[in-house]
């Protein structure tokens, strides 16, 4: 799989851009602030419908514009597909496949698969559980695009149920027992149904990711303690959290029953606190180094190695399905020592397409033989624009 052409309009610092790309390795060169990361951020957005740098879409729209457009021509096993996204200020985003509108933007998921490694990935090791849940869910959605709808439905149910818990809790404390408690039973069913699907996919993913992660980490940091991952959930029994166990499709019904039971048991606490205490939104991916958790115990170098190993494991897992995802490396070679650079370069050398950003050409290992493109900012201070020039 590779991106043959990328077009931007009013995206980040780019008023307009048209970039022809090819399979192999391309490096966008430029100092900070010139817009090189914005290019690969746009590619990543078409793959995940999210940015690796910000949580909301508003910062992606160029200052002074009302909408931004991203488009790409994707080649997969000889077949070309054009995918376009329009990001709108204060309105719903819109998407097209081969210039034809689709009902929901998430229908473009799966057309372009990417694995992106960036300095922000240190948060996978050092950050909050939400960062690791997002890592799991984006990787699971890349493998099973319909999971995007499940995630959207689960988030909607979670918001509705949380609001209902607050109202019901207030009424209960004031002595008014309203109809909210009966309505909660209905929302419990919705949360358990969607949550079970999400949990089943996460458990499957952790099981399949585990050997890739262990191998990737040992190759990057052979002198370090062995790396291992495990899914952590207060809602599920320990036997379901064993990474050596491979959940079967019928497990979704068992997981739904477990969630319903846990929701019933937690009802009084939830009403008291006004929050949902049960469900996959409370879970975490535990990262271990030897017998100790990586968070809080890993050194800076070990944290970098772990973050890189997680991304490389995801790349190999997607690759095992028969199609190379586009590998995106955002300004990371300068942050890595020689061993980590060599390990990353070895994977990149075998990928169908690699898009790299770097401040200077010397940051990129010479063995990658990447095609250089210079990204520059021109114009007066009140009307600056980014442009791309051949740097070969």
Q: pLDDT tens for residues 83-99?
A: 999 999 989 999 999 99
> Tokens in use for 361?
């050409």
State yes or no: 30 annotated in a binding site.
yes
161-197, pLDDT tens digit by residue?
999 998 887 877 776 666 667 788 999 999 999 999 9
Residue among 101, 108, 132, 100 nearest 43 (CA): 108
Q: Annotated binding residue at 156?
A: no
246 occurs within a structural domain = yes
Domain of 162, CATH number, reads: 1.20.1050.90
The verdict on residue 369 lying in a domain is yes
Q: Are 379 and 28 in contact (CB under 8 A)?
A: no
Residues 85 and 177 reside in one and the same domain: no
pLDDT digits (tens, 9 = 90+) for 351-381: 999 999 998 888 888 888 888 888 876 654 4
Kindly state whether residues 98 and 169 are assigned to the same domain.
Answer: no
pLDDT of residue 392: 59
What is the per-residue pLDDT for 380? 44
Q: Is 34 annotated as a binding residue?
A: yes
Residues 201 and 316 placed together within one structural domain of the fold: yes
326 CB-near residues (< 8 Å, 6+ apart): 1, 2, 3, 43, 47, 112, 113, 114, 115, 351, 352, 353, 354, 355
Instruction: Tell me whether residue 171 is annotated as binding.
Output: no
Q: Average pLDDT of 206-232? A: 92
Is 38 annotated to bind a ligand? Reply is: no
Quick check: helix, strand or coil at residue 225? Answer: coil
Count of domains forming the chain: 2
Specify the DSSP element, H or E, that contains 116: strand 114-117
Please check whether residues 250 and 164 belong to one and the same domain: yes
Task: Tokens for 219, please give them.
Answer: 């190759």
Last residue of a domain, one of 302, 321, 340: 321
Question: 286 lies in which domain range?
Answer: 125-321
Angle at which helix 300-319 crosses helix 180-220, to 10 degrees, equals: 100
Task: Tell me which of 291, 321, 351 is where a domain ends.
Answer: 321
350 and 374 both lie in a single domain: yes
With a cut of 70, say whether residue 5 has pLDDT above it. Answer: yes
Q: Is the pLDDT of residue 68 over 70?
A: yes
Is there a domain that residue 118 lies in? Answer: no
Are 6 and 102 within one domain? yes
pLDDT at 213 over 80: yes
- 11 with 100, same domain: the answer is yes
User: Across the beta sheet with 100-101, what order do the strands follow?
Assistant: 14-20, 2-11, 67-76, 79-88, 94-97, 100-101
Q: How confident is the model at residue 391 (pLDDT cuts 50, 70, 90)?
A: low
201 and 138, same domain (yes or no)? yes
pLDDT digits (tens, 9 = 90+) for 331-359: 988 888 888 888 888 888 889 999 999 98
Whether residue 355 lies inside any domain: the answer is yes
Do the beta carbons of residue 201 and residue 149 sit within 8 Å?
no
Within a domain: 74: yes
User: What was the pLDDT predicted at 239?
Assistant: 77
Q: Is 26 annotated as a binding residue?
A: no
Q: Which of 264, 292, 321 is the last residue of a domain?
A: 321
Q: Give yes or no for residue 322 having a pLDDT over 60.
A: yes
- CATH number, domain with residue 93: 3.40.50.300
Query: What is the percent of the chain with per-residue pLDDT over 90, rounded to a whole number?
Result: 69
22 assigned ligand-binding residue = no
Statement: residue 384 has pLDDT above 80:
no
pLDDT of residue 106: 95
Same structural domain, 152 and 216: yes
The mean pLDDT value for 254-265 works out to 94
- Does residue 275 share a domain with residue 130? yes
Under the banding of pLDDT at 50, 70 and 90, the label for residue 327 is very high
Q: Is residue 107 part of a domain?
A: yes
Residues 89 and 135 in one domain: no
**Residue 131's closest CA among 289, 329, 270, 294?**
294
* Angle, vertex CA 83, rays to CA 79 and CA 87, nearest 5: 170
Say whether both 354 and 329 belong to one domain: yes
SS3 assignment, position 314: helix
Is the residue at 119 inside a domain? no
Mean pLDDT computed over every residue of the chain: 90
Mean pLDDT of 253-261: 94
Residue 30 falls inside a structural domain: yes
Helix or strand or coil: residue 70? strand
Query: How many CB atoms lie under 10 A from the CB of residue 178?
Result: 12
């Amino acid at each position: 799989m590779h991106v043959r052409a990328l077009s931007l309009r009013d995206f980040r610092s780019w008023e307009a851009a048209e970039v022809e790309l090819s399979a192999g390795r391309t490096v966008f060169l430029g100092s900070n602030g010139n817009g090189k990361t914005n290019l690969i951020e746009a590619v990543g957005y078409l793959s995940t419908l999210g940015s690796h740098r910000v949580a909301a879409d508003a910062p992606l729209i160029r200052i002074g514009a009302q909408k931004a457009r991203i488009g790409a021509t994707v080649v997969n096993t000889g077949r070309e597909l054009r995918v376009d996204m329009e990001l709108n200020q204060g309105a719903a985003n819109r998407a097209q496949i081969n210039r034809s509108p689709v009902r929901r933007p998430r229908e473009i998921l799966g057309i372009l698969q990417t694995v992106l490694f960036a300095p922000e990935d240190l948060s996978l090791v050092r950050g909050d559980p939400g960062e690791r849940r997002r890592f799991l869910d984006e990787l699971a959605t890349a493998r099973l695009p319909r999971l995007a709808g499940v995630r959207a439905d689960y988030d909607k149910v979670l918001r509705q149920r949380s609001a209902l818990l607050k109202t019901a809790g207030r009424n209960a404390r004031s002595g008014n027992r309203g109809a909210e408690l009966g309505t909660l039973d209905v929302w419990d069913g919705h949360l358990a149904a969607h949550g079970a699907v999400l949990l089943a996919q996460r458990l499957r993913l952790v099981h399949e990711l585990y050997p890739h992660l262990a191998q990737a980490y040992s190759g990057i940091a052979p002198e370090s303690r062995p790396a291992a991952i495990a899914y952590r959930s207060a809602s599920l029994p320990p036997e379901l959290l064993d990474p050596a166990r491979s959940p079967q499709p019928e497990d979704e019904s068992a997981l739904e029953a477990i969630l319903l039971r846990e929701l019933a048991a937690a009802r009084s606490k939830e009403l008291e606190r006004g929050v949902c205490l049960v469900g996959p939104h409370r879970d975490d991916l535990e990262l271990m180094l030897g017998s100790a958790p990586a968070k809080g115990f890993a050194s800076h170098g070990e944290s970098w190695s772990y973050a890189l190993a997680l991304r490389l494991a995801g790349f190999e897992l997607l690759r095992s399905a028969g199609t190379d995802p586009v590998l995106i490396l955002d300004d990371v070679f300068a942050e890595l020592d020689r061993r980590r650079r060599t390990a990353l370069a070895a994977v990149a050398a075998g990928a169908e397409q690699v898009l790299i950003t770097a401040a200077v050409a010397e940051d990129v290992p010479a063995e990658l033989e990447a095609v250089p493109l210079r990204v520059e900012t021109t114009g007066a201070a009140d009307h600056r624009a980014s442009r791309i020039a051949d740097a070969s």
